[in-house]
Each structure stands twice: as structure tokens, then as C-alpha cells.
Structure 1
């Protein structure tokens, strides 16, 4: 048995729905279906999720919602018309969408989460209607029924609670019945009955939750690419596709910019010993990329599995004579970061120097000034400065374990191109090498490393 998840572009309109249904029919093992909200039908189109965000904002501002509501309903109606569903088939969907503003929400953040979640929620209902109309027995399973319980301070960035997997045991008898179960992705319910959503792209997370909860060991995630590639196709022309990789390789690469699969979605899959298969809705016969537990992984295809880079980093450089002899220096520094709610990525250090690498997304001009001021007041460095030109490149591969000379093969092509290296860090797992460069050099560094190992 398999869990299959389809992205928004795969469910954007009637013809795309038909492709998905053909994929479901092609394999009787594809029993558990997770839907995203309808995506863009063409360039310039608007995703249903974005229409729902507009609907929520207009509701919050007490503005007229007639036009956007009709546009949302129209997206589902067009799909229903494509499959010639009976005239009143969508009455329930229309009623639910129309009634959204009349519900009680604890605050505007919960209202926004609830509105956004209905893109997936209504598409799962519609998929169930279409499958049954076509003679394929299907049952809609809402998170309130499956028992997906979430938590978190932000209702638009929730996390699944462990009790979910106990709750889902009540669905296990349905595995013995010849029926497809259709789950909406992206959201769950808090313990007090409020809707909360995962981070955007969270339908991937739902797919992993369903696979773990129903003890399904194959999760097919259908998207719009044939595979995960060894490098960004915007940097490398026709990069080698990755045939198989381990969870930890995917996590390392996701950190540095791989965005084909939501890296948070891997966690339930790891816990449930699930193999994930990334596949293309438009080319379903392509093998795709398998992401699997380490114990199921045999020999890697290459020494290097993937190379990824990310440019949105800054570095706080601190120089102080005899820094290494000061007890508690790093502790006092970290307390300053905690004060401003800033986490760090890496902290390479020397005898008299220390650099803290931080993701720019956490920083603004106020924090930059305040952190530097506090460092000067608390730590009395000889020199402190922000370096706003930092990129991190991850070179990842299970094949790197125990291989002598890998580092030199990474560095030499950069030296030949006169690309300076700011930092090197070998991961404790021995499957990754982190290189710090100037942001302007990152793309060329990736090309040089790729040519060395994979060209």
C-alpha cells in the first residue's frame, strides 16, 4: 500500500485532476491520497490559497467578499463541470466556504489559518466526489476524523503532536477495505478545536503523517519535476538526477537550499521508517528519487550525492587577544543572541578570533546595531564587525564516509578559480562538507565542485 500526495499544480483544473486520477487508477496500491489546494493553471493565475488569504483579509477588514468568494467557488465548480458532476454536487463545498466568516475565531491569526486550510479541505472533498462519480470508491477523511492534533505558538506554523499517531489507529481497519481514503493536506486541529496549518508546503508533512500513522512504508510525492537533482538546474545545465538518497543526505541538502521536498516532512517519515519517492505527475513512469532510511540504503551511486548553496547569511566577526583563555566568553555571547531571539548556524573559532554565522532572515538594522553594541559593552573585544557577504555551500554524500582526499578535491577547483574560502566545517556524520564563500562566488563555486565530482 502507498500514500500518494499531489501538489497544487497537479490539481489546478479538470485536465490536471484527470492525470492524477489516471495515476491513482494505475496502481491499486495507491490507497491513501493527500491533496493540496488548486494551484496556478497558467502564468499570471492565482493559487486558491492566495485567494483564500485575500478572502480572510477582506473578512478581517469587514470588506465586501462577494467577488473573491465567487472566484474561489468558481475554481472548484470548473473542475466539477469538467467531470460532469450533478448540479447540486458542490452544495456542501459552497456552503462551507460561504459560512467561513460567520465562525468564531480566537484571533485574526486563527481566522487566517482556518481560511487558508480550506483550499486543501475543499479539494479533498471534491476529489472524493469525483472518484466516486467515476466508480472509484473513496471516502473523505478530515483531520478532525483522523485525529491530526497540532500545537505551536503560531497557528500558521504548527507542529504535529505525538498523540496523532495513537488517534490514527482507529483508521487501520479501513486498510482492509477496497476503498481510497482522501486526506486534505496542510492542516490539523489544536487540542481546543481550532484549525492550525503547517508551514507553506505543509501538504508534504501531512503525507508523511498519514504514512506513519497508517503504517505505510511507501510515500509517493508527486510534483512537477522528474527527480531531485544533484545541483540547482538554474546553476548547472542538465544536472545529474539523484536516483536514491538517505534521509540525512536530504536534511543536509535542504538546509542549504534544496526545496523540492519540505524538509520538515521528513521527520514523521523517519519516525515511521517510510521510504519517500519523489515523482512527476506529468511523467509518472519516471523512477524519480527515493529518499530512504540509512539501513535500507546499499551502495551510493556517486561519491557526492548533491551540492547546494545558500547566500542569505551574515557573519559577526569578533577579535580579542587571549579569547581562548577567557572562561564563559562564548556563554556571554550566546546570551546576547538569546536576548534578541537570534539563533546561529555555525561558530568557527581560533585562538583570538571567533565568527558567528547567522541567517539574515532573523536580522534587521535594529538588531544589527543592538547586538554589536551589546558585544562591545559585555565582551570588550579588540575588534567586532558584521560581514554582509556570506554564502554557505554544502557538499553531501554517503559515499564520502572514509574516503581520503575528498576535501582536497573540493578545494582545488576553487583555488584554480581564485575563489577564497572563508570557512570549512566537516559534519560529525562524515557525509557533509560545509564551505563558506563570498556570496558573489557561490554559484561559480558550485559549478567548479560539480564539474570535479559529477560532470
Structure 2
């Protein structure tokens, strides 16, 4: 039995949905289908979820929003007309939008309710289309599926009982089409996962129904060893472990939401990334363990938009609780950190630059000086993180030497290195402007 999740590009229009129909019809073991909201039909197009978020913002600011509502409705109407299915979905969607906008709920609740409409109506359309081509398919709301989550709008966390609830669906007849991205609290309130959360739903469903395979359909044949916008025609990764894929996802690989694999990983379910436009391609298999003698390094990941806060204080290493106090300051300002490499007298905290507003920066610097009595505090902006990813690095001789040599040969200065806490990746902090040269040189070293 398989769970198949189809991303935004796979359900962007009627043409793509017909491909989804053919894929589901072509394999009777695909029993649970999880879908995203319609994505971009071409490079300059819009995603439905973006329009729904924009609608919520416009309404909150008391700005005109009729054009946005019409744009959303027209997109769904166009899909339904081209699929030639009879449905009240567009009318019901319009009523839902008006009901949410006119409700007295807090803005966060309204935002989640509006964001969920993309996936919800995508699932309704696809279930009706599958029925129209002769399949025994039905729409299944996450509440009816028993997917229960914490009451944290925009960042819901799954509750364990969800898996037991989903397990009861194993022996039900027919195909279930489930909208991704949102679920319900114990009190019956709708909340969403973080952005990209349809992948999370797919993984949760696969774990709950104890699927033999979780297929994640997107618009590429496989995961590549490096970002194809940086290196032309990079090698495909045919097999990768869960831990490796999570590192790659976190560090800029956009195929998977970085939280998505956790439920499948814990349940020991293999995952296959496949292409809706080329479903017969083997794809990339994500498995629990590496085979003996497999290549250590599987990919080079990279991402931009970081900054580093550097703190220096003589004999810092003897001061009990210094690191905790420093990180507590970030916690008070609701800023999460990515890495925290340290030395005897200094410590750096790497964060996403967009979290550090001018006001928060002023508060943090003042508190570090007032409470920690630091000798020096500096902020380095516009950093990029480049990660060499592969299980078994700590037991493989020469990986660090190869990586640092490759970066040096690209004439790139390394601002920081962090490996000690990870057996799966080696992280290098460099200036954003140097990222392409560094990545290209690393790819040549490890893959060519």
C-alpha cells in the first residue's frame, strides 16, 4: 500500500491533475492521496496559497480585496471547467471566504483558515475528478481522518493519537484524497503546519496507515547532488538516507520541507521522490541506512540570508552558564538560532538574518553588554552557509581536507566551520557573494 503526495506544481492546472489521475489509476496500491494547493503553472505565475495570504493581509489592513477573491475563484473555476466535472466547489469556496473574513476570530485564526482553503478545495476537485474517471475515490477532511495537532497557528505539531486514528483507515474500501497543510486541535479548531506543510501531512498519513512506501510527487526526476541553478546538469542522487535528506532539505534543497520526513523516519517507511511529468523515472529513494561501501558525500547544499553574532570574553570557558545566558537573550526576543560554534574565549550564534530587526538587534546588543559584560560583540551580515552532506563523515579520512582545499582553490575565505556536533554534515560559513564559486568547486572535488 502506498501513500502518494502531489505538490503544488502537480495540481497547478487541469492538465497536471489529469496526469495525477493517470498515475493513481495506473497503480491500485496508491490508496491515500495527499494534495497541495495549486502552485505555479509557469515561472511568472502565482501560487494560490500566496494569494490567500495576501487576501488575509489586505482584509486585516481594511484594503480592497475583491480582485484577489476573483483571482482565486477564477483559478479554481478554470480547473473545474477544463476537467469537465460538475461541482459546487467554487460557490462553496466563495461562501467560505466571506464567512472567514466576516468572522470575529483573531487574525491568526483567520489567516490559518484562509490558507487552508487552497489545499482543501484542491482535494475536493481531485477526488471528484478521480471519481469521474472511474475510480472509487472520496474526499477526506483531516478532522474526519483523525489528524490532531497542537493549538499553534502556523506551526502546529502532531499528537501521537493521530497515528492510531489513521490506522483505522487501512481496511476501508476505495481511495481517500486528503488535503495537506492543515489539521485540527482537540477543540476542533483548524490550524496549519509551517509553510510547505503538505509534505508533513503526507508523511503523517504514511506513518499512520503504515504504508509500504510514501511517494512524494513533484516536478523533478530526482534530488540532485547540488542546486542545478549553480551547477549545470548535476548528478542525480538515487539513494539517500533520512538524516542526509533532512540536512539537504534544511540547507536549501527545496524538494522537501525539512520537517516532513520525521514521521516517516520514525515509522521506518521508505520515501520515493518522483516526477509527476515523468512517473516512470526511478526517482530518489530515501531510506533508513546507508549500504556498506556507498559513497560518503551525497550532496552539496547551500543557502543564503544568515548573520553571525560574535561574542568575545576573556575566560568565558570558566564562566558557568555563559552559553545558556546568551541563548536565553535570543529566546526572550523569540529568535531561533541555527548554529553556535564556540572557542575558549568566544562564541558565535548563527541566525537567519530576517529575524534580526533593527529593534531586536539594539535590544540584544544592549543586554549582552549589560548582563554578560562581554569584551567584544560584533555582527557579521550577508553570510551564506554551505554544507557538505553525507553519513559517515567522522569515520572517513580526508573529507574535511578535501572540502577546505576546494573552497580555498575557489579563492573563497571561510568565515567559520562547524562539524563537531554532526556526523552527517560539515558546515562552512562564507560571504554570500562567494557562494557560487565555493559550491562549484566543492561539486567538482566530490563528484567529478
* Common fold by TM > 0.5: yes
Selected match of 1:353 from 318, 334, 346: 346
> In structure 1, which of residues 328, 335, 341 is the aligned counterpart of residue 321 of structure 2?
328
Query: Cα deviation per residue 1:344-389 (whole Å; 9 max; x = unaligned)?
Result: 3333233333322222132111222222222222222332221224
Shift of 1:216: 0.4
CA–CA distance in structure 2, aligned partners of residues 183 and 338 of structure 1: 36
2:91 maps to 1:94: yes
**Distance change (3 Å), C-alpha of 1:388 and 1:146:** same
Contact 2:77-2:90 within 8 A present in 1 as well: no
Q: Which residue of 1 aligns with 2:444?
A: 451
- Mapped partners of 1:61, 1:351: distance in 2: 50
Name the structure 2 match of 1:50: 50
Shift of 1:84: 2.6
Q: Which ranges of structure 2 fall in alignment gaps of 5 or more residues?
A: none
Q: Tell me how far apart the structure 2 counterparts of residues 346 and 66 of structure 1 sit (CA, whole Å).
A: 44
In 2, Cα distance between equivalents of 1:64 and 1:232? 40
Q: d(CA) in 2 for partners of 1:335 and 1:311?
A: 25
Gaps of 5+ in 1: none
1:1-53 per-position Cα deviation (integer Å, ceiling 9, x unaligned): 11111112211222111111111122221121111122233344333323433
In structure 2, do the counterparts of structure 1 residues 370 and 180 end up closer, same or farther at CA, with 3 Å as the change threshold? same
1:439 alignment counterpart:
432
Structure 1 pair 47–257 and aligned structure 2 pair: CA distance change class (3 A): closer
Once the two structures are TM-superposed, the CA of residue 157 in structure 1 deviates from its matched residue by 2.5
Which residue in 2 is equivalent to 1:311? 304
Distance in 2, matches of 1:337 and 1:20, equals: 45
Contact 1:34–1:185 under 8 Å retained in 2: yes
Q: 1:65 & 1:328 partners in 2: Cα distance?
A: 51
In structure 1, the residue matched to 2:157 is 159
SS in 1 for 2:240: strand
| Counterpart for residue 208 of structure 1 | 203
TM-score by length of 1: 0.91
> How many corresponding residue pairs?
446
Which of 392, 413, 418 matches 1:420?
413
TM-score, scaled to structure 2: 0.92
Q: Kindly indicate whether the alpha-carbon contact (under 8 Å) linking 1:228 and 1:278 is maintained by their aligned counterparts in 2.
A: yes
Q: Is the 8 A contact 2:226 2:300 kept in 1?
A: yes
Q: How does 1:182-331 map to 2 (within 5 A)?
A: 182-294=177-289, 297-299=290-292, 301-331=294-324
Which stretch shows the higher mean deviation, 219-228 or 329-338?
Answer: 329-338
The answer to whether the 8 A contact 1:9-1:38 is kept is yes
The answer (yes or no) to whether the contact 2:89–2:125 under 8 Å persists in 1 is: no
Secondary structure of the structure 2 residue equivalent to 1:265: coil
Which one is further off, 413-422 or 272-281? 413-422
